[in-house]
Amino acid sequence: MEFETGGLGIVILNKADAGRMGLHALDRVILTKNHSTAVAVVDITEKFASEGEILTNMEVTEILKIKLGDEIEVIPSPAPESVAYIRQKIIGSKLSQDKMNVIVRDVVDKKLSDIEMSAFVTALEVRGLSMDEVEYLSRAMVKTGKSLHIPGKNIVDKHSIGGIPGDKTSMLFVPIVAAAGLIIPKTSSRAITSPAGTADRMEVLAPVALTAEEIIRVVKKTGGCLVWGGALDIAPADDAFIKIEHPLGIDPLLLPSIMSKKKAMGSQSVVIDIPTGRGAKIKTVGAATELAEDFVELGKRLDIHISCAITFGEQPLGYCIGPALEAREALEALDNKGPQDVVNKAANIVGVLFETMGIDRHTGYDHAIRIIKSGKADKKFREIIEAQGGNGKVKVNDIPIGEHHMHVKSEEDGRILWMKNGEIASIARAAGAPRDKEAGIKLNVKMGDPVKKGTTLFTIYAKHANKLENAVKLVETYKPMVIGKTYTQNMMMERFPTEIKHRRIFMLER
Amino acid sequence: MEFETGGLGIVILNKADAGRMGLHALDRVILTKNHSTAVAVVDITEKFASEGEILTNMEVTEILKIKLGDEIEVIPSPAPESVAYIRQKIIGSKLSQDKMNVIVRDVVDKKLSDIEMSAFVTALEVRGLSMDEVEYLSRAMVKTGKSLHIPGKNIVDKHSIGGIPGDKTSMLFVPIVAAAGLIIPKTSSRAITSPAGTADRMEVLAPVALTAEEIIRVVKKTGGCLVWGGALDIAPADDAFIKIEHPLGIDPLLLPSIMSKKKAMGSQSVVIDIPTGRGAKIKTVGAATELAEDFVELGKRLDIHISCAITFGEQPLGYCIGPALEAREALEALDNKGPQDVVNKAANIVGVLFETMGIDRHTGYDHAIRIIKSGKADKKFREIIEAQGGNGKVKVNDIPIGEHHMHVKSEEDGRILWMKNGEIASIARAAGAPRDKEAGIKLNVKMGDPVKKGTTLFTIYAKHANKLENAVKLVETYKPMVIGKTYTQNMMMERFPTEIKHRRIFMLER
């Protein structure tokens, strides 16, 4: 069969043959031919394979080097050891380091079926993980991937748990920190359910799919980088887990996912940004503090110094959402023209790092601001862009944004009372972000700003007219900004049952 | 693509196209062509589909009536409503009747991916179900399937939760009860992980894959039947759930699965057999009592009168294991030559039904024994065999058993201290049961029996010599009978770590 699953091999057997071998759909078989063996999951058909015939997909065909008409040996195979451990997690046992190693090894080797992967991820979500299990899982994920060995000490990093549209903090953080003489080999993800990941934003300015060797070269030269982590094969199990978490909208591997990558990159000190508030992933400072404690504890176990910044997350950061718009805004912020919240947040998070590193024990924030004001951060950013293969002399207006656009205007006088992060992200995605780098949203107002009837609230940019249309339709459904005279004017926050059913907006970022 | 999944349709898109549409692997799309639409899950390839190409599997191809070269429209589609409810169960919400209806409807309509099905089943296992949820799920499963309308009242049934090799009780129960004038349209499953289901046993004597009309005809004529329930489309969701439960070795839908089928068959009074003991599915009388209470409560809610029999389940029932051997033993038992435990168990369970039905308020057991002794049960069984299309005059020796056999002998003097149900089942399956009807095990001794070195413990029968060999190998690994002088002689029950790793033996029967 001319397809591959990207996972466990698949074979299709006739029902009679399967019956004779006592095989059910989704059981495993070991296939042997030409001294090669492959394991595959069984699908059963009454039509497409006759008795004595077996259909193999590309994974199997390639391993066994078989062609049409070849005979292969088929033997029922038990489920791998890891399935027994997944069952143990389901029934509530705690898993040991050895068992986690076996599970993660089998995940990376693609020995588990979607059903087994989903059962594991669901059981982790429902049962929760003990801190021991989080540590074991993190170590197993490091062990099954590559590690980067960057020479030097003071290797630092920064990570946001995400959920806030427009969060381009890393594009300021990396150059400030590198300008201060620290080493920051920053890897980022592309957007999964958001309008832009840091890798998408940076790709507007420079190539981000660098090899490990290229990263080491860039970091040696400039002290920092902003690259896509996906091609480095660090903690490869995570990609397999995300594939399952995404359709289910659950995220039980947040801690091991983030921290295994930091460990594999050799980080010694890391600041975790936890955007918090209604419309963010973490809703309350209490919950954020609990998560921060877990990060710190896990850091101790993995020998990484962790500090956390709990930041205001009730609205998008800055005014720009979407890869190109955000790249522009980051350049402006480093050029001392940036929106206050973008600069303030970056300087605050850098400040936490400076203080914990002992670089500036009490006024890390001021120190960060001085580095921006002096132009050193801007210079460093352009060095990094150049070293990664981009144009270090790029100007804001060189960066194209979507030629199709639409101004969304206020229908009444008042103030911006609430903004809906998830809905704004969905609108930007409908407009084409992150795939269309030029697509996105430019806000004209933020929470608390006064507006009049007819004031532009935001502008949607798109590369394709039909996508602009889709985005505009969503604006009508979602009403992403709530406008009123005062907070006392309308006490109703949401009604139930709601008219917009099953609006599953979920921003999974790592 | 020349294959079908038996579930949700699958399409394969080029990575670039998927990226442009913001699609990830396992997202859904709506496909339109020729005024037909199909929903499918997306797989992503870099090789097998070029940009602008889409590969469709048989499910999709057939719905859309497309051929090579046709253009189809592809639009990203949100996950169905039921996925939101599955998430709610994951995070611990209780599901309402409406939500259960939506989930089960989507299961039956094959709208859920394996990942979503697995997450639901795992969440049910880990979170547990409230009695309300069990009721809602049962009703939803009845509603999405067909029901059988058998004329008359006093429609009764019997069900065993399974787990005991050789349990041919239904083959006695049905004729005794029918001989007493009650109506018992008994449907059974084929073996899933055991050496024989009641449908497999009965098939040795008569066809079991009857249509609803044929069942009604047989039951009208004889008062009872022993048929396979799988072709009747009653509670079809259950097959989809079993497909997921089986590879995971979990069974959270036991109650709704059994009771939805009883409801669909129109049962008014049902006895549930709960075999209990070490090596059975339920280990203690306490646990069996809890389960029995749940059955009774669920029965009240579904308007079915339930009684339960908690029966001794620490060793196989009777001496025969495997379809043909068990059919022989059932005929012998009805002919008053049967092993004591087989007759005793059947009469006890019938007795519970007689007493609760008011047929014999105090001595139901004796009444059942009288019906066997009188030959009426044997006569009735032969009527049923004949009505289903078998030979009502069949003699025990007419039933062939495997020509390859091997006597397994004791290596020491002593008594049979323990027998291992799961391991005995595995050996019988290795010998070819249930697919090879002639294959199985005939025990020569049971628990407590004295043996000498060289005494035959049991004989393995197989149709194929190589399967006999496989079974014999397992005997050496499993040592399914533990022999010793007294129970005080060896206090060690099991050692850990064990030498036989991951011996996942699991008998899922419904």
Tokens of residue A116, six digits: 């087994």
Min Cα–Cα distance to chain A from B20, Å: 6
Phi, psi of A431 (to 5 degrees): -75, -10
Contact between chains at B22 and A249 (C-beta distance less than 8 A): no
Contact between chains at A119 and B118 (C-beta distance less than 8 A): yes
Q: Does A115 touch chain B (CB under 8 A)?
A: yes
Question: Using CB atoms, which residue from A126, A244, A502 is nearest to B84?
Answer: A502
pLDDT tens-digit series, residues B442-458: 999 999 999 999 999 99
**What stretches of A42-193 show up as alpha helix (H) in DSSP?**
58-64, 81-90, 97-108, 114-127, 131-143, 170-179
Distance between CA atoms of residues B434 and B327, nearest Å:
12
Question: Using CB atoms, which residue from A19, A243, A247 is nearest to B79?
Answer: A247
> Does residue B263 carry a pLDDT above 60?
yes
Distance between CA atoms of residues A307 and A295, nearest Å:
8
A251 is catalytic: yes
Q: Does B498 touch chain A (CB under 8 A)?
A: no
Largest CA distance in chain B: 78
> Does residue B508 carry a pLDDT above 70?
no
Residue of chain B whose alpha carbon sits nearest to that of A191: B22
Q: Which of residues 123-162 of A touch B (CB under 8 A)?
A: 123, 125-127
Contact between chains at B116 and A247 (C-beta distance less than 8 A): yes
DSSP conformation letters of B451-485: E-TT-EEEEEEESSHHHHHHHHHHHHHH--EEEES
Q: Encode burial over B22-40: b for 16+ CB neighbours within 10 A, e otherwise.
A: bbbbbbbbebebeeeebbb
Tokens of residue A159, six digits: 């990570």
Contact in structure between A126 and B126 (CB atoms under 8 Å): yes
Minimal CA–CA distance to A306: which of A343, A260, A352?
Answer: A352
A79 contact residues in B (CB cutoff 8 A): 247, 504
A52: left (phi over 0), alpha (psi -120 to 50) or beta: left
Tokens of residue A386, six digits: 């150049």
Cβ pairs bridging A and B (under 8 Å): 155
Cα Rg, chain B, nearest whole Å:
25
Place of tokens 């190693």: A101
Q: Which of residues 225-254 of A touch B (CB under 8 A)?
A: 243-244, 246-250
Q: Does B192 touch chain A (CB under 8 A)?
A: yes
DSSP conformation letters of B119-178: HHHHHHHHH---HHHHHHHHHHHHHTS-----SSS-BEEEEE----TT--HHHHHHHHHH
> Does residue B144 carry a pLDDT above 80?
yes
pLDDT grade for B1, boundaries at 50, 70 and 90: confident
Strand pairing class (B320-321; B54-56): unpaired
Contact between chains at B114 and A115 (C-beta distance less than 8 A): yes
B79 contact residues in A (CB cutoff 8 A): 247, 504
Non-local CB neighbours of A397 within 8 Å, separated by 6+ positions: none
Which of B115, B203, B242, B501 should we substitute to test contact with A (largest number of A Cβ atoms within 10 Å)? B115
Contact in structure between B139 and B165 (CB atoms under 8 Å): no
Question: Rounded to the nearest 10 degrees, what angle do helices A237-248 and B114-127 cross at?
Answer: 80
| CA quadruple B413, B417, B422, B424: dihedral, nearest 10 | 30
Distance between CA atoms of residues A125 and A129, nearest Å:
8
pLDDT tens-digit series, residues A381-431: 999 999 999 999 999 999 999 999 999 999 999 999 989 999 999 999 999
Tokens of residue A74, six digits: 């088929």
At residue B336, the 3 state secondary structure works out as coil
Distance between CA atoms of residues A380 and A366, nearest Å:
18
Query: Is the Cα dihedral A398, A402, A403, A405 positive or negative?
Result: negative
Q: Does B110 touch chain A (CB under 8 A)?
A: no
Contact between chains at A24 and B250 (C-beta distance less than 8 A): no
Instruction: Check residue B499 and give its pLDDT.
Output: 60
Phi, psi of A6 (to 5 degrees): 75, 10
Helices and strands, counts by H and E, chain A: 18, 17
User: ipTM above 0.85?
Assistant: no
For residue B456, the tally of other CB atoms under 10 A from its CB is 14
Q: Does A15 touch chain B (CB under 8 A)?
A: no
DSSP conformation letters of B188-249: EPPPSSSS--HHHHHHTTS-----HHHHHHHHHHHSEEEEESTTTTSSTHHHHHHHHHHHHT
Q: Does B113 touch chain A (CB under 8 A)?
A: yes
Tokens of residue A48, six digits: 């497409």
Contact in structure between B340 and B349 (CB atoms under 8 Å): no
> Does residue B509 carry a pLDDT above 60?
no
Place of tokens 């205007």: A409
Place of tokens 């063996």: A37
pLDDT tens-digit series, residues B68-92: 889 999 988 888 899 999 999 999 9
Percent of chain B whose predicted confidence (pLDDT) is above 70: 96
Instruction: Check residue B191 and give its pLDDT.
Output: 87
pLDDT tens-digit series, residues A250-261: 999 999 999 999
pLDDT tens-digit series, residues B292-333: 999 999 999 999 999 999 999 999 999 999 999 999 999 999
Place of tokens 């409801």: B263
Phi, psi of A326 (to 5 degrees): -70, -35
B51 contact residues in A (CB cutoff 8 A): none
Minimal CA–CA distance to A416: which of A492, A491, A483, A478?
Answer: A483
Taking only the tens of pLDDT, chain A with its 510 residues reads 766 666 778 888 988 888 878 788 788 899 998 888 888 888 888 877 889 999 888 888 888 888 888 999 998 888 889 999 999 999 999 999 999 999 999 999 888 988 999 999 999 999 999 999 999 999 999 999 999 998 878 999 999 998 899 999 999 999 999 999 999 999 998 887 889 999 999 999 999 999 999 999 999 999 999 999 988 999 999 989 988 998 898 999 999 999 999 999 999 999 999 999 888 889 999 999 999 999 999 999 999 999 999 999 999 999 999 999 999 999 999 999 989 999 999 999 999 999 988 887 778 999 999 999 999 999 999 999 999 999 999 999 999 999 999 999 999 999 999 899 999 999 999 999 999 999 999 999 999 999 999 999 999 999 999 999 999 999 998 899 999 888 777 677 667 776 655 454 545 555
Contact between chains at A58 and B43 (C-beta distance less than 8 A): no
pTM beyond 0.95: no
Contact between chains at B126 and A121 (C-beta distance less than 8 A): no
